[in-house]
Structure 1
Amino acid sequence: MISLSRRHAKSPAILILIFALTLGQIAAPAQALAGLFGDFTLKDEKELGKKYYTLIKATYPIVEDPEIVRYIKDVVNRVAETLPPQPFPVTTTVVRNNAINAFATPGGYVYVFTGLITEFENEAELAGVIAHELAHVTQRHVAKRIAQQQVTSLGMLAGVLAGMLIGQASGGDSGRAASQALIIGSMAGAQSSMLNYSRIDEREADQVGMNYLLEAGYPPTGMMDGFKKIRRKQYLSGRSIPAYLSTHPAVDERIGYLEDRIAGLSTDIKARTETENRFQRIKTLALARYTDIDGALSTFRTGTGNPALDFMGTGIILSRQNNIPEAAQAFDSALRLAPNDPLILRETGRFHYLQGDVSKAASYLTKAMLLNSDDLMALFFMARLQADKGEINRAVGYYNRILETLPEDPEVHFYLGRTMGRSGNDFDGHLHLAYWGIYSLNKKKAIFHKEKVQALAETEEQKAAFETLTKIFDERDEFWKEMGKGKKK
């Protein structure tokens, strides 16, 4: 679960080309996109959003840590509950990428980059960026520009949308320039003005997003402080400002009118505060697992204000460095300060399991699960412990429980497949190993185990399971084939 070996994302330019070519295969007549709110139907929007979602899943490393995923979903849902009625449910994905970014696409899909967690100081700042992006969706800014530019097919729309959104994801002008060059070169008729939201759109997203932020109960300074922090980090590091701040109106002007609006709010709203304990716990995990080792280690050793979490983060990083003795000492120090913290217990149990100390691992993981029955990471390592002991049925039950919440977690499918295989259930063993291949982006392994599943399918239930597997494989294979073409050029 939560593999740290997922490969790096493709470049934004390659992603745009893949997306444009793939959706170009299902191009619609010009008339189908002519209307702003009419003929560009909800079905078209749903199809476009699902294709983009599959593209992201097929090319970007996705965070599956249930603690992080659940937290981000809770923040997104808290803001989304304030939106006017929407035609699609919100689907949240956490992308492992250090860009300070989030974006939303047609069909109700929201993508949050881990850089937003590691670079911000509190939840209100995170929620401010999410509210801004959701406002672009509710105000139909993408749909408006589709109509204004007279996009003539879903293929062209795919190229334009991918250029705009992945240009944002790259976090800067160079990424946007690469996106723009490829779009213009490969999608005749797509206009460069489509790659950025207009001045009016950005102002509206700021103001409407602020409404959502306030209605969700967050401190009003969240969005403004987030913008300030991004600007300050850009000045200090030389990194480009992400697209939602680099477009017009200028960031200083935007901060200015947000300050003016906040000044006019009632005293009780301006006095709002937010408990940051959960945010800091998630930030500790993200810093320790997904960022530069030296920088994160320096942060924890300097101190973040929570010594127990600092020791836990230090232990995770030292274990990444394979400095096992010092990592063990760090986890022990964390437990001395917070002996009943379920997150620290889980991470300590995880560490000892991976070091082969099954007895210690079982003790810490059991206590973590008793204190937090929803901790799927603890459940995952308990499942592995049970499988090691030969308690197959119990292990399988734990794995299946995790998959109810994280159906695309590659490591869960991998270990469940191995457990099934060792128990003599070859069909289910190869079935889950095929899903492991798909979700870990290993096409060769996916094909190998898929063929085994096909050969072993005898009952109607098994044949139906193979059909479902084939459908999911084919969705990913669209993009894998286009990636292969791109490499040959």
Structure 2
Amino acid sequence: MQTLLVAATCFSTALLPATGTASTDLPVLNDASSATVSLDAEYRLGRNWARILRAQAPLLDDPISYQYLEDLLWRLLPKSQVQDRRLELFLLDNPTFNAFAVPGGIIGIHSGLLLAAETEGELASVIAHELAHLSQRHYAQRLEEERRNRPLMLAGLLASILVAAADTQGGMAVLSSTMGANAQGQLAFSRRNEQEADRVGMQTLVEAGIDPHTMPQMFSRLQRNYRFYGQRPPEFLLTHPVTESRIADSLNRASQLPEVQSHADNSDFNLIRARMQVHHSESPQKALATFRAATQDSDQLHNRYGLMLAAIAAADFALADKTWNTLDASARRHPWLLLSRVERFLAAADSASALEISRELIALYPDSRPVRTLHARALRETGQLQQAIRIYKQLTRDYPTDTLIWFELAEAEGLAGNILAVHEARIEYFLLTAQFDLALKQLEYAAREKDLTDSDRARLEQREQEAKALRQEMKEQF
């Protein structure tokens, strides 16, 4: 961990400029920043930075919540000014409310942001704001500004994203020190970027059919909650300063935009928010008490869903079943609720029942990421390893940078006794998490396996060359 933090600090001077796209035919928004770092370099740097992020920050293994956020991101992206749409979304298992955009199309969302927002529009406003930072290449512009002043300031800012993703207190220490050393001119430059991101982000909301007033609403909520943080405000408020003037400016901008005939439906948002409430609860018993009270106060679907999830977390499967039986027929057909029934049976080690439901879901939603993921787990738990491996391999082709899928594939291959395949899945996992020495060690183990074909040896040799080249590239970059 310490090595990664040092590396993050060292390479962020090179990376922080990059915030946009990799396509060289994009319009140049700032000639100086384009001279400092090319769009292609931004993309490469950002994707390599993501390797370190995967190694350092805990990712949330929740395919249902991830799919919801990815769908929301892709609802906004076509309406944004981002032209290179090779984005990668990270859902971090972190209860603090924060989001960030990193050069090369990296969008990071802390799970706590789903708790801070109270409507889907408020959540969308934060994502639209981060997309605007990417489209306007603000990091590249800031590098050009700091190139003449204090490049190490930028190094600390980007490194703090990595630290804060894994350790809120550590990230706060790094970020506070770098902000404290900042000059007034740099702060003004940052405010200009934030104002532009607000303006561009609001336009994205309007184009996506979302009320732009949700952005100042979110700002106001964050500012009201600021007092609860004392001397340790959340990273989002430090990297995205919220002031009365900014709120007033965003309200004024929203009032000047075309009126949106919004038919906001927060039902799915509320379901995902209930998942995060249970996940981040102090204990399953605490979550049970919270949602028992919530269902008594308001018998809404998301409250009963939260109660069912809390019961599963507390291993009170009788209560989980009782709550399920209170749902009407339409709710029981909702794919997320059905997937949570799969989760319930997997948690109770009743893999046969889990598989029965997941088979029905895979027939209805054959391309769904969460359905495929949970179906593969049910197959693995029932010993149907080859079928599970087939689905995991399909998922790795569709989502080649998802380390959680590679990890599960390695587990399934190991249970099936496919030792070479275990090595190869682990090699990919280590490369995706910037653990190059471990990847090379795994390649050594793989090369010692018996009965390797000429094709196997050639493939391993190629992977070794790729691993060494990537390690050298990252040394040069960072």
Output the TM-score relative to the length of structure 2: 0.78
**Counterparts in 2 of 1:233 and 1:367: CA distance versus 1, 3 Å:** farther
The answer to whether structure 1 residue 369 and structure 2 residue 365 are counterparts is no
Distance 2:240 2:431 in 1: 41
Residue 57 of structure 1 aligns with an amino acid whose one-letter code is R
Q: How does 1:312-323 map to 2 (within 5 A)?
A: 312-323=305-316
Where does 1:122-201 land on structure 2 (aligned, <5 Å)? 122-150=119-147, 159-163=155-159, 165=161, 175-179=171-175, 181=177, 198-201=190-193
Change (3 A) 1:123 1:71: same
Q: Partner residue of 1:220? A: 212
Give the equivalent residue in structure 2 for 1:347.
340
CA drift at 1:111? 1.1
Q: 1:408 to 1:84 in 2, by over 3 A?
A: closer
Matching residue's letter, 2:454: T
1:38 counterpart SS class = helix
Q: Is the CA contact (8 Å cut-off) linking 1:48 and 1:158 kept in structure 2?
A: no
SS at match of 2:333: coil
| C-alpha distance in 1 between matches for 2:184 and 2:462 | 42
Cα deviation for residue 47 of structure 1 reads 3.3
Match of 1:7 in 2: none
The SS at the match of 2:140 is helix
Deviation at 1:352, TM superposition (A): 1.3
1:121 CA displacement = 1.5
Map residues 74-473 of structure 1 onto 2, 5 A cutoff.
74-84=71-81, 86-87=83-84, 89-150=86-147, 159-163=155-159, 165=161, 175-179=171-175, 181=177, 198-236=190-228, 238=230, 240-242=232-234, 245-246=237-238, 251-266=243-258, 268-269=259-260, 271-293=261-283, 296-303=287-294, 307-334=300-327, 338-387=331-380, 389-435=382-428, 449-456=442-449, 457-461=452-456, 463-465=458-460, 467-468=462-463, 471=466
Match of 2:18 in 1: none
**2:9 counterpart letter in structure 1:** A
Q: 1:362, 1:423 → 2: CA distance?
A: 19
Deviation at 1:298, TM superposition (A): 4.5
Cα contact 2:8–2:159 (8 A) shared by 1: no
Q: Quick check: 192-201 or 49-58, which moved more?
A: 192-201
Report deviation, 1:119: 1.9
Where in structure 1 are there 5+ consecutive unaligned residues?
A: 1-9, 27-32, 481-489
Write the distance in 2 (CA, Å) between the matches of 1:299 and 1:60: 29
* C-alpha deviation, 1:404, in angstroms: 2.8
Q: Deviations over 1:80-139 (max 9, x none)?
A: 223336356322222221221111122222111111112211121111112222223333
SS across alignment from 1:149:
helix
In structure 1, how many angstroms separate the alpha carbons of the residues matched to 2:66 and 2:240?
32
- Secondary structure at 2:86 match in 1: coil
Distance 2:127 2:195 in 1: 15
Percent of aligned pairs sharing the same letter: 23
Q: What is the identity, as a one-letter code, of the residue corresponding to 1:360?
A: S
Distance in 2, matches of 1:215 and 1:142, equals 25
2:50 equivalent in structure 1: 53
Instruction: Determine if contact 1:308/1:337 at 8 Å carries over to the other structure.
Output: no
Deviating more after overlay: 344-353 vs 310-319:
310-319
1:214 and 1:236 map into 2 onto residues whose CA distance is 32
**Structure 1 residues 369 and 280, CA, compared in 2 at 3 Å: closer, same or farther?**
farther
Q: Give the letter aligned to residue 63 of structure 1.
A: L
Q: Give 1:171 deviation, angstroms.
A: 11
Q: Structure 2: how far apart are the matches of 1:447 and 1:431?
A: 11
SS of corresponding position for 1:92: strand
Deviation of the 1:60 alpha carbon: 0.4
- Residue range with higher mean Cα deviation, 75-84 or 102-111: 75-84
Task: Give the CA deviation at 1:330.
Answer: 3.9
Mark the CA change 1:465 to 1:332 in structure 2 (over 3 Å): closer, same or farther.
farther
When structure 1 is superposed on structure 2, of 112-121 and 359-368 the one drifting more is 359-368
Against the structure 1 CA distance between its residues 310 and 479, is the aligned structure 2 distance closer, same or farther, given a 3 Å change threshold? farther
How far did 1:376 drift? Answer: 3.5
- TM-score by length of structure 1 reads 0.77
Call closer, same or farther: CA 1:414–1:168 in 2, change over 3 Å.
Answer: closer
Distance 1:422 1:300 in 2: 38
Tell me which amino acid in the other structure corresponds to 1:18: A
Report the RMSD for the aligned CA atoms in angstroms. Answer: 4.3
- State whether residues 350 and 365 of structure 1, in contact with CA within 8 Å, keep that contact through their aligned partners in structure 2: no
Quote the offset at 1:142 in angstroms: 2.1
Structure 2 residue runs without a partner (length 5+) = 16-29
Counterparts in 2 of 1:164 and 1:193: CA distance versus 1, 3 Å: farther
Distance in 2 (CA, whole Å) between partners of 1:397 and 1:245 is 44
Alignment-mate amino acid for residue 67 of structure 1:
I
Would the alpha carbon gap of residues 176 and 204 (structure 1) be closer, same or farther in structure 2, given more than 3 Å must change? Answer: farther
Aligned residues: 458
Offset at 1:158? 6.6
Cα distance, 1:84–1:414 mapped onto 2, change above 3 Å: closer
